[in-house]
Amino acid sequence: MSSSDHAVAMQPESDDVGAALRADWAQYYRVCEGSRVRRLFDCLRAPGIHAVTVLRFGQWAATQVAPLRWLLTPFYMVLNEFIKILWGIDIPRSARIGAGFYIGHFSGIFVSAHAVIGRNCFISQGVTIGVGGSGDKRGVPVLGDNVYLGAGCKLFGRITLGNNVKVGANAVVHRSLAAGAKVAAPGFIYLGGTAPPDDSATKTEACVLLASQPESGGEVRPSSRDDVSS
């Protein structure tokens, strides 16, 4: 059995997949605003909920007995291709993703087939969770619960993000982060043209790790700063 097939086999039973899908929809409903009708309408037209529903359908299909699984899998594959083409969201069913999964906006989203994502996680457009590293360090990220990934951020390698981690827009994360850590990408670099009113804008900012970073590597532990660019 390949590692991808093994990951599919480790997915929850069909009842658990149904519960996960209900939690996913509830997450979208909570985020939407307005009347009940407006919230439901916004949920139905959200690209993210389309992708999550197809994902859960694929995971449910993988738990069925062989004859039914053989019939359902091609249907899932076609739906998944439509999601990739229409919305630019590529999340294989073998990815292990907890309930309450929320995708904000769409396009340019890729999640490795071997990724592990905890409960109530939010990801934005342009996010990549992929394979990285070499040798013993080669692998895919494992995310805890309540993780937020801002637009355009990239995670790769055998790393772990603890619960309640927040990753700001366009940040590149290749090291493990302790629970509660907040990280962000560097600010802009002024190259020329009309001088900005603030001289500080002419300086190259260091990567904003809203946490203290050990010199020896390893985990990045959170500091007292609270804001993360998103």
pLDDT in tens, 15-32: 599 999 999 999 999 999
44-62 confidence digits (pLDDT tens)? 999 999 999 999 999 999 9
- Averaged pLDDT score across all residues of the chain: 84
CA angle 116, 122, 124 (to 5 degrees): 105
Residue 115 and residue 112: Cα distance in Å, rounded?
Answer: 5
Region of residue 88 (phi > 0: left; psi between -120 and 50: alpha; otherwise: beta): left
Which domains, ranges and CATH numbers included, belong to the chain?
A: 1-88 (no CATH), 108-230 (2.160.10.10)
Residue 197 and residue 29: Cα distance in Å, rounded?
Answer: 43
Q: What is the pLDDT of residue 187?
A: 75
Structure tokens at 61: 């299909």
Most confident of 130-139, 143-152, 188-197: 143-152
pLDDT above 50 (res 122): yes
Cβ-in-10-Å burial (0-12, 13-18, 19+) of 200 comes to exposed
Cβ-in-10-Å burial (0-12, 13-18, 19+) of 168 comes to buried
